[in-house]
Amino acid sequence: MNNKARTALLAVVLTAALAVSGCSVFQAKESSKAIDPPPVDVDTIADGLLTQPSAKPTLAQPGAQTVGAQVTLYFKDANGYVAPVSLVVPSTEGIAQRALEYMVEDGPSKSMLPKGFTALLPKGTKVNGIDIKGDQKLAIVDFSKQFADYNPQDERKILEAVTWTLTGFPTIDNVQIKLEGKPLDEMPVDGTPIDGSLSRAMGINLELSTGVEISQSTPVTVYYSGKNDAQYSYLVPVTRMVKRTDNIAASVVDQLIRGPLPGKGLAPVLSTDVSLLGISQTEGEGLMTVNFSDKLLGADKKASPNALQAVVMSLTENTGAAKVQIMVGNDVKVTADGSTNYSQPVARPSHINPFKS
């Protein structure tokens, strides 16, 4: 059975499975925020519902007069994960279009990327234009014909990279894709369905937890640690389908403690010795308070800044919280190396994995 046939079959199977739980596989974000179709790799199939993503990186807006703007773009790392890298690109009126141009193979970012990272948009791809409809927070992107010249195994990765890059702009929540002016209802190589607009509800780097059934699952997006051969450390978002739960925040922390799947090239950000003592969200204020055991701290009584950033990013990605207050043993006096003051509520960082070539 070829890839396209397997994709179609899996879509049918997942549709039936999710129908049992009252979910539609390809619902728009506004209705139930469903994840888009999974990759054809049956070992990592995932589908379900995602919560609304929260704070977004602050990117340069049209009309900015600065020489360069730091923008978070998504590339493929050496392990095959779609990972964010923040680069400085020329600040222009069409900063969103410029961002996509930096994601083209052999494009302007070629000499700027960390070792092992590669662009996902096919060589020669042109962005014919982007129409941003502010009232809908929708970006309609028109790619040239070269966009269709990619390997089938990269099809979903391309969708994830484009969607997560553009929805990093505060004015964009949803993305529609055109090819030479024609709206796509499926991807051109392997036929991955595109149901209207795409959003971060589609997930990224999808995984299915062991022993979890799709129809009885909940997706959570958490950040684990990656490192390339040049010792560049970075955080990688992974959307993992876990046992169905109404307590998304606690499930996020649980998956951070469980860590990434073995043998996949990622490292945990929290030790399995760490315990969650409590977690709560203040209604109306967007503040998430998370209380850890003292195992969060090292011998120097400091926490890993990488771990704390992963906690903040994971919780804000899933819960809608604007800030996270991290505590250890009911004490807010948590310190870590670096400039961030974790004794106060911390917002999501504006830029993820900044890199200077």
- Provide CB contacts within 8 A for 125, sequence distance 6+: 104, 105, 143, 144, 146, 147
Please give the pLDDT value at position 250: 97
d(CA 261, CA 117): 21
| Crossing angle of the two packed helices 305-319 and 248-258, in degrees rounded to 10 | 150
DSSP H or E stretch at residue 6: helix 3-20
Q: Which structure tokens are listed for 20?
A: 């049992």
Helix, strand, or coil (residue 258): helix
What is the predicted pLDDT for the residue at 244? 94
pLDDT at 195: 84
The DSSP call for residue 330 is: T
Q: Is beta strand 346-347 parallel, antiparallel or unpaired with respect to 127-133?
A: unpaired
Q: pLDDT band for 339, please (50, 70, 90 cuts).
A: confident
pLDDT for 52 equals: 33
Q: Checking DSSP bridges between strand 233-243 and strand 276-282, what pairing results, if any?
A: unpaired
Which secondary structure element, helix H or strand E, spans residue 254, and what is its range? helix 248-258
How confident is the model at residue 226, as a pLDDT?
97
CB 319 within 8 A of CB 246: no
AA letter at 129:
G
- The pTM of the full predicted model, rounded to 2 decimals, is 0.83
- 209-262, pLDDT tens digit by residue? 888 988 899 999 999 999 999 889 999 999 999 999 999 999 999 999 999 999
State residue 209's pLDDT score.
87
pLDDT tens digit sequence for 168-218: 999 999 999 999 999 999 999 999 999 889 999 999 999 998 889 888 999
How high does pLDDT run on average in the chain? 84
CB count within 10 Å of CB 334 equals 22
**Three-state SS string across the chain, please?**
CCHHHHHHHHHHHHHHHHHHCCCCCCCCCCCCCECCCCCCCHHHCCCCECCCCCCCCCCCCCCCCCCEEEEEEEEECCCCCEEEEEEEEECCCCHHHHHHHCCECCCCCCCCCCCCCECCECCCCCEEEEEEECCCCEEEEEECHHHHCCCHHHHHHHHHHHHHHHCCCCCCCEEEEEECCEECCECCCCCCECCCCECHHHCCCCEECCCCCHHHEEEEEEEEEEECCCCCEEEEEEEEEEECCCCHHHHHHHHHHHCCCCCCCCECCCCCCCCEEEEEEECCCCEEEEEECHHHECCCCCECHHHHHHHHHHHHHHHCCCEEEEEECCECCCCECCCCCCCCCEECCCCCCECCC
